[in-house]
Amino acid sequence: MNSHRSTQGRIDIERLHIHLGHGAKKFEALQDVSISAAPGEFLCLLGPSGCGKSTLLGALAGHLQPSGGSIRVDGQPVDGPHPERGLVFQQHTLFPWKKVLDNVAFGLKMKGIAREERRLQARELLKLVGLEDFSDVYPSQLSGGMQQRVEIARVLINHPRVMLMDEPFSALDAQTRLKMQELLLDVWMRVRTSIVFITHDIDEALFLADRILVMSPRPGRIIEELKLDFARPRHAELVTSKEFIRLKRHCLALLHPDRQTHPLARLNPLGTVAAGELQFAI
Amino acid sequence: MPGALTLSGQIRQLKPTRWLLRALSIGACVAAWQWASSAHLNFGIVSFQNVPSPQEVLRAAGALIDSPKLIPHLKASVWRVFAGFVAATVAGIGLGLVIGRSRRLEDILLPPLEVLRPIPAVAWIPLAILMFPSSELSMIFITFIGALFPILLNTIHGVEGVDRRLIASARSLGSGPRAMFAEVIFPAAAPSIVTGLSIGMGTAWFCLVTAEMIAGQYGVGYYTWESYTVQNYPDIIVGMLFIGVLGMGSSALVKQVGNALMPWYLPGRKSA
């Protein structure tokens, strides 16, 4: 799309601490995390379940309040959700009562753009994710992979500086997941927004990212940084290359230093899983 | 449960043999009624001596349908239900949306409503007659009270059940507080609201009929009670049947309109 876009989307996270829960249940989800990402970079956060990587994403999106440190995107402090920081959840959050086209056009509607214009743009984005023939159906009529593609289109219509993705393909079957990874790379090559992508799947992180940050179990800290120089565009065969497998071994060793202790409760970008712990002021 | 006509007014597909069985069951009941009333059965604790037979009821119904009295009675009842129901819809949905959304407003608005809720609408009748200048208004008020709580509670329930992730997504996509209500909260709560409206319509009729028996002039409830006082016994049952048909019909209508307005909603199958 626009080549100037890669001048936007710089992320600076400094000494971020986040606590979740209340009272006796309060715990430190993130401890002293500092990250910076270049404009247009594809960054993967890799870590075990419950390590706080989704918490970090929620803070970047503006849904969670840090207890210390700062988050800036292009120099602007993050102080709440904003269309410039689009969020894609693990399971789609399309509005079931809106047809696909109107779901994609939602962000433009919020900006007060006229119906014809926003539908025109929404069609463009549906084309980008290969769903131009599905504009007139309800989300529930789509497969899981298609729903996530619509979700991506809906975020991209706002021309976000960064796209934040919380294990967006983990609920999909292996075949679909691979296709979605290729599609995401293809879309990203054209749109060139920065992406912060959360996953616990080592293959996925290695396949997608420019750079991987490996996180430790709770409290989440960055324990390793891996730069990936695999040529782009990348294709599925990459996962069988020697270098890929070497890095995969390395990641496995990082994620499973010895036998895994009992798994931690899953966190999400809105805080803990238990409902009612967080309130949104609308 | 394989009900043919569910409370929600949806007709399910059944095999013809099952329809036949159901029709026979109703036929048998009517036949038993015919026999009990023509034989003037008396069991001591319940007597059929003054119960009109189906034949007489049918004749009375025919006479009522032909007479000019019917339209004013129906008009009066339908108008009262409509007025009370619309007022309850506006109040119930409006209050439900804000109570479900804001803890502060819940604390301010809900306690008095919770105190009033256990009082049956019928128990309001004497006070309503004292409070309102016309019996017409007091009857509409009773209908309003009857319909209000099912609508209110279902709206609150619907709003509180809205997926937090949908709200978070809408905020990330740039939606402000007002758009949040119009674009997310209200449509997400709509299925629950429609259920509340449908139940509220049923209770509205229930309350109206009682109110009409006590305070009415015209109306199907009034007609039923008047038939008793002037000893037109077949007309009592005609009145009862009209009440049943109108109540069920309007509840089903609400559900149908609701479903037509929510083509995306497939009951029983939550969208993933």
In order, the DSSP letters of B32-93 are: HHHHHHHTT-B-SSSB-TTPPPHHHHHHHHHHHHHSTTHHHHHHHHHHHHHHHHHHHHHHHH
Task: Fill in the DSSP letter of residue B122.
Answer: G
Query: Which residue is closest to A64 within chain B, CA to CA?
Result: B168
Q: Would the pLDDT of A258 be above 70?
A: no
Of A110, A270, A280, the CB nearest to B173: A110
Q: In sequence order, what E strands does chain A have?
A: 11-20, 27-37, 42-46, 68-73, 76-77, 85-88, 162-166, 194-199, 211-215, 222-227, 267-268, 271-272
Kindly state whether residues A153 and A193 are assigned to the same domain.
Answer: no
Average pLDDT over chain A reads 87
Stretch 95-124 of chain A: residues touching chain B, C-beta under 8 Å? 95-98, 106-107, 109-111
- Domain assignment present for A266: yes
Task: Fill in the DSSP letter of residue A167.
Answer: S
CA quadruple B163, B168, B172, B175: dihedral, nearest 10: 70
Q: Is there a cis peptide before residue A219, judged by omega within 30 degrees of 0?
A: yes
Q: Which residues of A touch B177 (CB under 8 A)?
A: 282
What is the three-class DSSP state of A197?
Answer: strand
A276 touching B (Cβ < 8 Å)? no
- Domain assignment present for A200: yes
Task: Identify the CA nearest to A194 among candidates A230, A165, A214.
Answer: A165
pLDDT of residue B50: 87
Number of folded domains that form chain B:
1
**CB-based contact A139:A148 (threshold 8 Å):** no
Q: Which residues of A touch B174 (CB under 8 A)?
A: 82-83, 107, 110-111, 158
CATH number for the domain harbouring residue B233: 1.10.3720.10
Residues 6 or more apart from A108 whose CB is under 8 A from it? Answer: A117, A118, A121, A122, A157, A158
Q: What is the mean pLDDT of residues A186-202?
A: 92
DSSP H helix total and E strand total for chain B: 11, 0
**CB-based contact A52:A110 (threshold 8 Å):** no
Contact criterion met (CB < 8 Å) for B172 and A62: yes
Q: Is B222 exposed, middle or buried (0-12, 13-18, 19+ CB in 10 A)?
A: buried
Q: Which residues of A touch B164 (CB under 8 A)?
A: 270, 275, 278, 280
- In total, the C-beta contacts within 8 angstroms joining chain A to chain B are 93
Residues 6 or more apart from A270 whose CB is under 8 A from it? Answer: A58, A63, A64, A278, B164, B165, B168
Task: Identify the CA nearest to A154 among candidates A98, A200, A224, A228.
Answer: A98
Kindly state whether residues A102 and A218 are assigned to the same domain.
Answer: no
Listed residues A110, A138, A158: the one ending a domain: A158
B110 touching A (Cβ < 8 Å)? no
pLDDT of residue A82: 93
Task: Specify which residues A87 forms β-bridges with.
Answer: A164
pLDDT 10s digits, A1-15? 444 446 788 999 999
Q: Which residues of A153-165 are buried (b: 16+ CB within 10 A; e: fewer)?
A: bbbbbbbbbbbbb
Q: Which residues of chain B have pLDDT under 70?
A: 1-13, 267-272
CATH number for the domain harbouring residue A206: 3.40.50.300
pLDDT of residue B272: 38
Q: How many C-beta neighbours within 10 Å does residue A260 have?
A: 11
Rounded CA gap, B27 and B30, in Å?
A: 5
- Domain assignment present for A282: no
CA–centroid distance for A157 within its chain: 16
- Domain assignment present for A133: yes
pLDDT 10s digits, A199-221? 999 999 999 999 999 988 878 88
Q: Which residues of B touch A144 (CB under 8 A)?
A: 272
Whole-number Cα distances in Å, B81 to B64, B123, B218, B246: 21, 18, 13, 10
- Structural domain that includes position B72: 56-260
Kindly state whether residues A150 and A10 are assigned to the same domain.
Answer: no
Kindly state whether residues A55 and A98 are assigned to the same domain.
Answer: no
pLDDT of residue A239: 87
- Structural domain that includes position A98: 94-158
Kindly state whether residues A80 and A176 are assigned to the same domain.
Answer: yes
Question: Half-sphere exposure of B150 toward its Cβ, with a 13 Å CA cutoff?
Answer: 19
A89 touching B (Cβ < 8 Å)? yes
Number of folded domains that form chain A:
2
- Domain assignment present for A89: no
Q: Which long-range contacts (CB under 8 A, 24 or more apart) does B233-236 make?
A: B233/B50, B233/B51, B233/B52, B233/B56, B234/B52, B234/B56, B234/B57, B234/B59, B234/B60, B235/B60, B235/B64, B236/B52
- Domain assignment present for A278: no
Q: Which residues of A touch B105 (CB under 8 A)?
A: none
Tell me what percent of the residues of chain A surpass a pLDDT of 70: 91
Decide which of B6 and A60 is more confident. A60
- Domain assignment present for A280: no
pLDDT of residue A1: 43
Distance from CA of A82 to the nearest CA of B (A): 5
Kindly state whether residues A56 and A99 are assigned to the same domain.
Answer: no
Kindly state whether residues A248 and A176 are assigned to the same domain.
Answer: yes
pLDDT-based confidence at residue A256 (cuts at 50, 70, 90): confident
Kindly state whether residues A121 and A19 are assigned to the same domain.
Answer: no
Rounded CA gap, B268 and A193, in Å?
A: 40
- Domain assignment present for A179: yes
Listed residues A139, A158, A177: the one ending a domain: A158
**CB-based contact B36:B53 (threshold 8 Å):** no
Rounded CA gap, B179 and A112, in Å?
A: 11
Least confident span in A235-249, A260-274, B92-106: A260-274
Distance from CA of B148 to the nearest CA of A (A): 26
Q: How many C-beta neighbours within 10 Å does residue A170 have?
A: 14
Task: Fill in the DSSP letter of residue A70.
Answer: E
Kindly state whether residues A33 and A126 are assigned to the same domain.
Answer: no
Kindly state whether residues A130 and A58 are assigned to the same domain.
Answer: no
Question: Which ipTM did the prediction report?
Answer: 0.85
CA quadruple B57, B63, B68, B72: dihedral, nearest 10: 10
Q: Would the pLDDT of A260 be above 70?
A: no
